[in-house]
Structure 1
Amino acid sequence: MHSIKKNKNIRLGSSYVLLVVMSILIFYPLAWTIGASFNKGNSLVSTTLIPKSPTLAHYVELTKTSGSFYYFQWFLNSLKISVVTMVLSVALVSVTAYAFSRFRFKGRKNGLVLFLLLQMIPQFSALIALFVMAQMLHLVNSHFLLILIYVGGQIPMNTYLMKGYIDSIPVSLDESALLDGAGYTRIFLQIIVPLAKPMIAVVAMNGFTGPLGDFALSSVILRDPKSYTLPIGLYNLINDKMGASYTLFAAGAILISIPVAIVFILLQKNFVSGLTEGGTKG
C-alpha cells in the first residue's frame, strides 16, 4: 500500500515538474517580448526582462507613418484578410464536410484521400507557381488573391477533421428530421451546425490565426509596402541592417496578439464544451 502511494506521488510530482517546465518554455519568451517593448533603445543587447526605465515610446512610434512604415495599415490589412479567411473557411469547410459525411457519391473516397495527400506537399513548393499566376492574372498586391489561397489551403485538412466530427453525430437525427419533412439544408443548419460548434470553433481559430502568422505566401504576393500584412512589415523592422529595431518589433508583435486573444476568448466556450461533451461520451 505504501509502495502504491509512493509511486502515485512520484507520478504526480513528475507531472507538476513537466507542467512547470512547459510553462517556462512558453511564457519566458513572451515575457521577454513584453519587457523588450517597454525598454528604451532599439537593441536587444541592452534590454532586460524587467525594464529599468519603462517607456511607451515604441507604442507611440507605431502610430507614426514615415517612409515605408505603415504599421496600422498593415494591422488593418492583416485583420481584414484574417476575418474574411475565417468566415469563408468556416462556411466552405462546414458544407464540404457535411457532404462527405452524409452523402455517398462517386469519387467520395478518392476525394478524402486527395485531401490527405495535399497536406504532404510543403506550402513553399508552390510559391513560384503562385507568383507567376498572380502576375498572369494581374493580381500582385491583391488581398483578394491572398484570401483565396488561404481559404483553399484551409479546406483539405479541416474538412477531413470536421468530417470525422460530423460522423460522430447520430444519423438517426437526420432521419427523424427527414420524416418530419425537413430538407437537407434545414438539417444542416438546425441540427449539424449547432452540434458541430466545437469543431467549427477550431476551424474558425485556424482560419483567423493562419494568415496572421504567414510570411512566405504573403511576401510573394504583396510587394507594395502599403499592401503588406504585419508579418512582412514587422520582418522588415529587424531585417534592416542600418536601422533594425527589435524593441519596436516587440511592441508591434504584442499589439497583434490582442485580436488573437479576443477571438480565442470568444470561441473558448465552444472549445470547453467540446472537450466536456467528448469526455462525457467516452
Structure 2
Amino acid sequence: MATDTLTPTRPARRPVGTWFRQTGWRHLVGIAMLIFSSFPLLYVLSAALNPGGTLLTANGLFQTVSIDSFVRLFSLPQQPFAAWFVNSLVIGLATAVGTVFLGALAAYSFSRMRFTGRRFGLLSLLLVQMFPQLLAFVAIFLLMTTIADVFPAIGLNTQIGLIMVYLGGALGVNTYLMYGFFNTVPASIDEAAKIDGAGHARIFFTIILRLVAPILAVVGLLSFIATMNDFVLASVILVDPAKQTLAVGLYQFVSQETATNWSVFAAGAVLAAVLPMALFLALQRYIVGGLTAGSVK
C-alpha cells in the first residue's frame, strides 16, 4: 500500500525589486553607516602604528606598522601617560559612582515622597541644564580658588575638587532621567514593604535599586565616558601635570608648535578608548533595558 509522503515546500523567492523595497535598502544603509563610522577608527589606529609622527603619512592606511609610538608613550618623563590614565580612571569611577548614588537618592525622593516644592524642584533641575556649562567656568574657577584658601584639600588643583564639580554638574539631568524610570516601578511594592515594617532606607537599598539596575548602569556609563572625555573643566581646575587627566595630558603632544607628534597622540587615544569600550560591552544588556524597557518583569 503506497503512503503519501509530505515534502516541505520552500517559500517562493521574492523578486529582487520586491526584496530591495522591503528589506534590501536597509542592508545597504547599514553597510554604508558601518563604513562611515569605522573609517575614523581605522585612521586613528593607522596613525598610532605609523612612526612618522604626522597625520599626512597616515593617508595610506597601515602602510607602515610599528609600535614605537606606544613604547614612547610610556617612556616620556615630561608626559606621564600612566599617571594620567590612573588619574582619569580614579576620577571617572569616583564620579560615576557618586553620580549614580546621589542621582538615585534624589530621584527616589522626587518619585516616592510628596513634599512642598517638589514640582518646582523638578522644573528647576530641568531648566538649569538648559544653560551651557561654558557660562559657569569663570564662577567655578573663582569658587575653587576661594575654597583653596580655606580648605586646600578640595580647592583648586585637587582631584577631589574636580570630582565635586562633576557631581554638582551632573546631578540635575541624571536625577530627571532616573525620576522617569523610578516612576515605572509600581508603588504597590513600597506599600507592601511598609506593611512588613520596612522604612524608606530599607526599601531604597534592598528593593528599588535592584529593580532600577538598568538605568543605574546607563547613568554610570554615561557619567564615566563624559568624565573621561572632559577637557575644559579638567584643564581649568588641574594645573599640576602629574594630577591631570588623559584628555588634558594628551593635548600636550599636539599643542606645541615645534614638537607636535600626532602618532603618539593617536596611540594614547587608542589606549584611552579601550576601557570605555570594554565597559560599554560589559553593560550592554543593562543599557538596552535601561533605554528601551521598564524595570518590572
Q: TM-score, with normalisation over the residues of structure 1?
A: 0.92
CA contact (8 A) 2:107 2:179 kept: yes
1:1-282 equivalences under 5 Å are 9-48=20-59, 50-67=61-78, 69-138=79-148, 139-274=155-290, 277-278=293-294
What letter is aligned with 2:101?
A: A
* Structure 2 CA distance for aligned equivalents of residues 243 and 221 of structure 1: 25
- The structural deviation recorded for 1:48 is 3.9
Q: How far off is 1:6 after superposition?
A: 5.8
Deviation at 1:8, TM superposition (A): 6.8
What is the one-letter code of the residue matched to 1:271?
I
Q: Conserved in 2, the CA contact under 8 Å of 1:58 and 1:251?
A: yes
Give 1:49 deviation, angstroms. 5.1
Q: Which AA in structure 1 matches 2:35? A: I
- For the pair shown, the structure with the greater C-alpha radius of gyration is 2
State the alpha-carbon separation in 2 of the partners of residues 231 and 263 from structure 1: 18
Deviation of 1:12 after TM superposition, in Å, equals 2.1
- Paired letter, 2:25: S
Deviation at 1:125, TM superposition (A): 1.0
Gaps of 5+ in 1: none
Pairwise CA distance, 1:278: 4.4
Q: Match for 2:87: what amino acid?
A: N
Deviations 1:31-76 (A, max 9, x none): 1111111112111111145322311101101111333x11111111
More displaced, 209-218 or 12-21?
12-21
What's the Cα RMSD here?
Answer: 2.3
Residues 100-156 of structure 1, C-alpha deviation per residue, up to 9 Å, x if partnerless? 001111111011101111111101111111111121122221111110111111111
Contact 1:39/1:48 (<8 A) preserved: no
Runs of 4+ with >3 A deviation: 5-9, 272-281
Determine the C-alpha separation between the residues in 1 that align with 2:197 and 2:26: 53
Aligned length: 279
Distance 1:280 1:175, change over 3 A: closer
Report the secondary structure of 1:106's partner residue.
coil
Partner amino acid, structure 2, of 1:174: D
Residue 254 of structure 1, CA deviation? 0.6
SS in 2 for 1:46: helix
Query: Partners of 2:108 and 2:26 in 1: how far apart?
Result: 39
Identity, % of aligned positions: 37
- Extract unaligned runs of 5+ from structure 2: 1-13, 149-154
Please identify, of 257-266 and 146-155, the stretch whose mean Cα deviation from structure 2 is larger. Answer: 257-266
- Quote the Cα distance in structure 1 between the aligned partners of 2:230 and 2:55: 24
- TM-score after normalising by structure 2: 0.87
**Amino acid of the structure 2 residue aligned with 1:159:** T
- Worse-matched range after superposition: 58-67 or 269-278: 269-278
1:32 touches 1:49 (CA, 8 Å); kept in 2? no
